[in-house]
């Protein structure tokens, strides 16, 4: 999954900073106030 493939409402993804077997970590900005954020996403649903 690339940055261009990732869309999270309310956030602008600027770069992928890490990838493991089960997760991805992105750097981005929150749309409403341009606060810098780090977002961690699981590659598969967690059950």
Residue 41: φ, ψ to 5°: -120, 140
Task: Report the share of the chain in percent with pLDDT over 70.
Answer: 87
Given pLDDT bands bounded at 50, 70 and 90, which one contains residue 47?
A: low
Residue pair 1/20 in contact (Cβ under 8 Å)? The answer is no
Mean pLDDT of the chain, nearest integer: 91
Q: In this predicted structure, what is the pLDDT of residue 46?
A: 67
Percent helix, percent strand, percent coil in the chain, to nearest 5: 5, 50, 45
Neighbours of 38 (CB within 10 A): 10
In the sheet that holds 11-19, the strands lie side by side as 11-19, 23-30, 36-42
pLDDT in tens, 19-40: 999 999 999 999 999 999 999 9
């Amino acid at each position: 999954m690339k940055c261009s493939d990732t869309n999270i409402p309310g956030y602008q993804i600027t770069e992928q900073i890490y990838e493991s077997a089960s997760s991805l970590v992105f750097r981005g900005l929150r749309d409403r106030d341009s606060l810098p954020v780090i977002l961690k996403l699981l590659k598969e649903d967690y059950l």
